[in-house]
Amino acid sequence: MRLFKRPTALAGIAGLVVFVIFVIWYRGGQAPLSGEEQAYYLAKIEQFTGVAKDFVDMEATRELMRTDDGKPFYVLNVFKFRDQADYGDGASDGLSGVDTFKKFRAAVLPIWIKNGAHPVFTTTLSDGFVNEWDMVSVVRYRSRRDYAEIQTSSDFLAILPHRIASAETNIRIKLPGIQIPPPLMLMVFVWLLMLAMGFLVGRIVFAWKSRPDLQQPGHV
């Protein structure tokens, strides 16, 4: 049991536990959507009204669910923002399309993280690069089940009007892909850092206990 009294071992074990939990959460390891699950999510989507109904391509959504392989995938978004946000019938919150999209982005991030999704990158394009578009973003989804869960959640539907009002044009492309994700590499780094810190603390404690004055008889 002396192993568990060493700072190096404790830091390494704690880091490993955190790392394993993160990997399980991040990778998901989920089976493809069952027929019953597909029917459940499609039924919810078919009940959409207003801007949410216009936002969804039902044929593409059915195909996305039908071809589910249980693996993560990416959604590439290309945006052209309005000069002023438009909520329909001329309604506006007085903000530009960019500022309205920022409201959506701030609100959607916790929803993504809750369901194992996160942006891989978001780039604002300069006028001298591709002036037909204002921004490109790529979001990684843990699974198509998580994607469907997000798209049908009341929290997401509540903020969706901001996204739609902000963009004059939005092209969405769903792509499969495998990569070593930056968050996973970050967790490896954190684990190694904790291990190194534990080793350093262990050496400091050992050096302190080995001081000659502490080895003298009668030292308290």
* Token pair of 192 as six digits: 């190694």
* Token pair of 184 as six digits: 């996973």
The predicted structure's pLDDT at residue 110: 96
The predicted structure's pLDDT at residue 132: 78
Q: What is the dihedral of CA 138, 140, 146, 149, to 10 degrees?
A: -20
Q: How far apart are CA 189 and CA 201, in angstroms?
A: 18
Domain ranges of the chain: 2-24+182-207, 33-67+72-176
Give the residue ranges of the chain where pLDDT is below 70. 1-16, 18-29, 90-92, 125-131, 177-220
State the chain's maximal CA–CA distance in angstroms: 89
The predicted structure's pLDDT at residue 29: 60
Which strands, in side-by-side order, build the sheet including 167-176? 118-124, 135-141, 73-81, 167-176
pLDDT tens digits along 40-96: 999 999 999 999 999 999 999 999 999 999 989 999 999 999 999 999 876 667 899
CATH fold group of domain 33-67+72-176 = Alpha-Beta Plaits (3.30.70)
- The stretches of 90-167 forming alpha helices (DSSP H) are 97-114, 144-151, 154-166
Phi, psi of 140 (to 5 degrees): -100, 125
Residues contacting 169, CB < 8 A, separation 6+ = 78, 79, 80
Angle at 142 between CA 137 and CA 146, to 5 degrees: 100
The predicted structure's pLDDT at residue 88: 85
- The HSE-up count of residue 167 (CA atoms within 13 Å, CB side) is 25
| Number of neighbours of residue 176 by Cβ within 10 angstroms | 10
Phi, psi of 217 (to 5 degrees): -60, 140
